[in-house]
Structure 1
């Protein structure tokens, strides 16, 4: 399936997946959302699921589910206790079932807000708090609508990925994501992302993200390059990216997102 042509088509893809898909995994997810999250007035899926449905449709979604809840912090904490969810280091919680990994947090505990990097007056504002611009999209579960910038889908069609908000609590996590997405999806890094990679792809960090890559993904990629400089050349050279991306595409059900579990 091709990239969604407009927001109406993207909304239909998300609607079809969440509310009409009759497969066992999606039915299980739907039951979780209805029982535990839809009782809140404002709750939205952010990033991964919506992005993947936008870029490749149902076959493209192999990620976890990230939910932001516009509710008092104590109410979200109570839900986490009821679900026996595990606190994460960014102020949210991780809830795992046999089929799904769901990360959720109260809007006011969003890392970018608590650290003073962004203002949050409403749930829509969280689209300004993601590291990657491709993740700057939400789907409001109760109102069933998409919120993103006007040129969100054009950015995806243009195959250039850029930084949205530069400060991050997970430099190596986002460095790993950036490298895998650029190579395996054959993307061009924007100027800010290019600078982030140049600054952080050191020999030391290469070893760290190679270790993280082996832990997180079923098909590790980073160690293939042996050193930071070789990896940097592939990230910056379209011909080399395309060649390697084609090789891995034969092995991965979704390039860059076949994973054991998600980078924190």
Structure 2
């Protein structure tokens, strides 16, 4: 995780023209809220080797929702559909949750005593990673580094509010980020998507996925996009 940590720190401190660094926004939030971490996608993608991250930044704090609302008052936050707060700063979108308002914990699928327990709450194994904004430290579950090195996407916690959309997300992530699907996730995706209406690329992916299970069901699957024309 040393490389992931250093890549993140370098990126956070980078200035974009006249805009202040992303770190300045995080320092402002850190001063108002305790124990803030960046969660999931951004940290994962730097571990996978991306050089720039343009999606929303997901954050979690131990502070309760009302304290978050007060801390972000000057940033005009709005409640997002997942129970967190969304705001924009310097052209970047942020979503921030109270730890106990995150979906898996709120619904009783996982228990949390600290922010490191967030790693138990993600559907995907590669999303089970946090970056502590104050300590500048990366935390993961055991075995994460090996999965990241092999670029294997697997199920971490199966419970989720939208199984079909999660299966679609698995295919999208695998294609866009050149990931293999572990056998358990292969079965999950097929159960949700096989035989359903999909775009041509996704249809090709699922068809190859099905063929893979008849030949080597116990090994990870990697998509061969050149085969999609067949």
Shorter-chain TM-score: which interval?
Answer: 0.7 to 0.9
1:8 Cα deviation after fit:
1.9
Identify unmatched segments of 5+ residues in structure 1. 1-6, 208-222, 246-264
Moved over 6 A (4+): none
Q: Secondary structure at the match of 1:56?
A: coil
Distance (whole Å) between structure 2 residues aligned to residue 186 and residue 178 of structure 1: 11
Q: Distance in 2 between matches of 1:33 and 1:12?
A: 16
Find the aligned partners of 1:152 and 1:48 in 2 and give their Cα distance: 14
- Count residues in correspondence: 220
C-alpha contact 1:186 1:242 (8 A) present in aligned 2: no
Provide the alpha-carbon RMSD of the alignment: 2.7
Q: Tell me the equivalent position of 2:186.
A: 194
Distance 1:31 1:172, change over 3 A: farther
**Distance apart, 1:64 and its partner CA:** 1.9
Q: Which runs of 5+ in 2 are unaligned?
A: 213-220
Report 1:1-264 matches (<5 A).
7-19=1-13, 21-24=14-17, 27-59=20-52, 61-97=53-89, 99-201=91-193, 206=197, 223-225=199-201, 230-235=204-209, 240-243=223-226
State how far apart, in whole Å, the 1-side matches of 2:23 and 2:55 are: 16
Q: TM-score, normalised by structure 1?
A: 0.73
What is the rounded CA distance, in whole Å, between the counterparts of 1:229 and 1:140 in structure 2?
39
Q: TM-score, normalised by structure 2?
A: 0.83
For the residues of structure 2 that align with 1:155 and 1:25, how far apart are their CA atoms? 38
